[in-house]
């Protein structure tokens, strides 16, 4: 049995032996640094918005939804608990009284395993002691190394009061964290966004005349200058339509698309969420709906110079997204978002994308909210991606073309960082050259 050492020179030898091929693929996928193109992780400098440690991990909305299915506690009673009490209940319900079989629960086990913490303990004492003993900076370093994440893109909302105050304090933070300018409030909640803009001193009328448009563009220009976002982003409901006779269409045409073109910024569209299907679950209460991919196609047609990143929440939309990407080279599919981020579905989507798009897509993003989630989200994603790549290279070999380890590394690097860095003009491994932003 020939083993492949991690630091072995990447040979140009053709890999005709399937087990050697499998080893090379696994080693390459496991060690290649990834750019995490969409997260909600903020660096320690963002204070209260920086989430890390066992209590934040267990009160993740995925686990809250699962816990409230397996307990008869009322939602109101659950929300009246402290964060630590909620974490205790999640632990007892999903890890003590039941086997942690779900993907999100297994994620916690993978994280505890990574830090050699016991995932069978009846309580959280050991984990709490461990995580509270970590210095944020060293821990950040360790987590990024364990997850093999070279750069990550945050979700930054200029309409979020607490976050806005932190940006106003001109903080500096680790250059591996890249901003994205989130536009949900502007495009999905115009009434409140207008009030917020007025409080910020921007004269905007609900009719969105040219003066209002100029004001909103001034607002966005100001945040682009401050955040240096790598892209602008918005999540859109399943019933999103373009064109449409509504405020969102007007804001897209008169504000967002001109801003994207002027600043050369890509626009990330995350389509198919139904917010607040069950409001009693708060952040855990969002659902999914099938979207009309034609709306995305029409955006690509109408704005050929704008680069779109797109992820769709509904499983039923994945094939259509692949086909749309074959039609528009200004459309980059990325990630298996949220309810799709499960091994069986990640494999299915990745397989279909490879078959229809070759390596011209971004296979995954973590959507992590808590720092340590990067460890399991990437560990699990890499396992699924490596397995599907072995199938794909294996079929190519059966068809008569062997590949080299160098070619595997080139393809994997393209999918885990190159495609995104080229799309948003982010020099690969950019963090190394720029220690602290701002």
For binding to Zn ion (CB under 5 A), which residues are involved?
367
Minimal distance, residue 382 CB to ligand FIX, in Å: 18
Handedness of CA 346, 351, 354, 359 (dihedral sign): positive
CA dist., res. 315 & res. 313, Å (int): 7
Q: 365 or 382, CB closer to ligand FIX?
A: 365
Cis amide leading into 243 (omega within 30): yes
**DSSP secondary structure string, 279-308?**
GGGGGGG-EE----HHHHHHHHHH-TTS-E
- Contact partner, 338, from ligand FIX, Zn ion, none, Cβ < 5-8 Å per class: ligand FIX
Q: 33 or 237, CB closer to ligand FIX?
A: 237
Q: 167 or 338, CB closer to ligand FIX?
A: 338
Minimal distance, residue 338 CB to ligand FIX, in Å: 4
Handedness of CA 238, 243, 247, 251 (dihedral sign): positive
What is the Cα 123 distance to its own chain's centre? 30
Q: 340 or 386, CB closer to ligand FIX?
A: 340
Minimal distance, residue 22 CB to ligand FIX, in Å: 31
- Contact partner, 86, from ligand FIX, Zn ion, none, Cβ < 5-8 Å per class: none
CA dist., res. 79 & res. 77, Å (int): 5
Minimal distance, residue 176 CB to ligand FIX, in Å: 20
Cβ-based neighbours of 419, under 8 Å, separated by 6 or more: 332, 359, 360, 361, 362
Minimal distance, residue 375 CB to Zn ion, in Å: 18
What is the Cα 269 distance to its own chain's centre? 12
Q: 28 or 155, CB closer to ligand FIX?
A: 155
Minimal distance, residue 336 CB to ligand FIX, in Å: 11
Q: 283 or 428, CB closer to ligand FIX?
A: 283
Tokens found for residue 435: 């220690």
129, burial (CB in 10 Å: exposed 0-12, middle 13-18, buried 19+): exposed
Q: Which residues bind ligand FIX (CB under 6 A)?
A: 40, 155, 235, 270, 283, 338, 367, 369
- Contact partner, 39, from Zn ion, ligand FIX, none, Cβ < 5-8 Å per class: none
Q: 204 or 312, CB closer to ligand FIX?
A: 312
The Cβ of residue 40 has, within 10 Å, a number of other Cβ atoms equal to 17
Minimal distance, residue 231 CB to Zn ion, in Å: 13
Tokens found for residue 424: 């948003």
Handedness of CA 126, 377, 182, 294 (dihedral sign): negative
């Amino acid at each position: 049995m020939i083993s492949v050492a991690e630091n072995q020179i990447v040979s140009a030898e053709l890999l005709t032996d399937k087990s050697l091929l499998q080893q090379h693929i696994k080693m390459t996928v496991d060690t290649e640094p990834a750019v995490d193109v969409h997260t909600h992780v903020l660096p320690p400098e963002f204070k209260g918005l920086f989430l890390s440690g066992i209590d934040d991990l267990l009160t993740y909305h995925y686990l809250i939804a699962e816990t409230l299915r397996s307990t008869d506690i009322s939602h109101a009673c659950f929300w009246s608990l402290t964060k630590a009490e909620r974490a205790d209940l999640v632990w007892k319900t999903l890890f003590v009284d039941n086997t942690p079989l779900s993907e999100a629960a297994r994620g916690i086990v993978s994280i505890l395993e990574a830090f050699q913490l016991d995932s069978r303990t009846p309580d959280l004492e050991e984990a709490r002691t461990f995580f509270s003993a970590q210095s944020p900076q060293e821990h950040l370093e360790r987590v990024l190394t364990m997850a093999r994440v070279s750069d990550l893109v945050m979700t930054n909302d200029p309409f979020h009061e607490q976050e806005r105050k932190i940006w106003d304090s001109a903080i500096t933070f680790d250059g591996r964290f890249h901003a994205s300018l989130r536009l949900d409030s502007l495009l999905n909640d115009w009434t409140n966004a207008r009030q917020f803009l007025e409080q910020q001193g921007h004269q905007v009328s609900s009719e969105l005349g040219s003066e209002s448009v100029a004001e909103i563009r001034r607002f966005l220009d100001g945040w682009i200058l401050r955040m240096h976002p790598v892209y602008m982003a918005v999540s859109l409901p399943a019933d999103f339509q373009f064109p449409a006779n509504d405020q969102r269409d007007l804001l897209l045409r008169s504000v967002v698309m001109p801003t994207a073109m002027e600043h050369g910024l890509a626009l990330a569209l995350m389509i198919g969420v139904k917010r607040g299907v069950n409001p009693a679950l708060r952040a855990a209460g969002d659902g999914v709906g099938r979207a009309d991919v034609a709306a995305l196609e029409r955006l690509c047609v109408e704005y050929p110079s704008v680069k779109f990143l797109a992820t769709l929440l509904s499983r039923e939309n994945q094939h259509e997204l692949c086909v749309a990407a074959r039609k528009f080279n200004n459309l980059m599919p990325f990630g298996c978002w949220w309810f799709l981020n499960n091994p069986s579905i990640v494999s299915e989507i990745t397989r279909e994308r490879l078959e229809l798009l070759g390596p011209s897509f971004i296979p995954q993003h973590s959507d992590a909210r808590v720092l340590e989630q990067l460890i399991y989200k990437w560990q699990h994603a890499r396992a699924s991606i490596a397995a599907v790549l072995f199938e794909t290279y294996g079929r190519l070999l059966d068809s008569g073309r062997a590949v080299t380890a160098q070619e595997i590394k080139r393809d994997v690097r393209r999918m885990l960082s190159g495609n995104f860095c080229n799309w948003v003009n982010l020099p690969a491994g950019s963090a190394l050259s720029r220690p602290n932003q701002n």
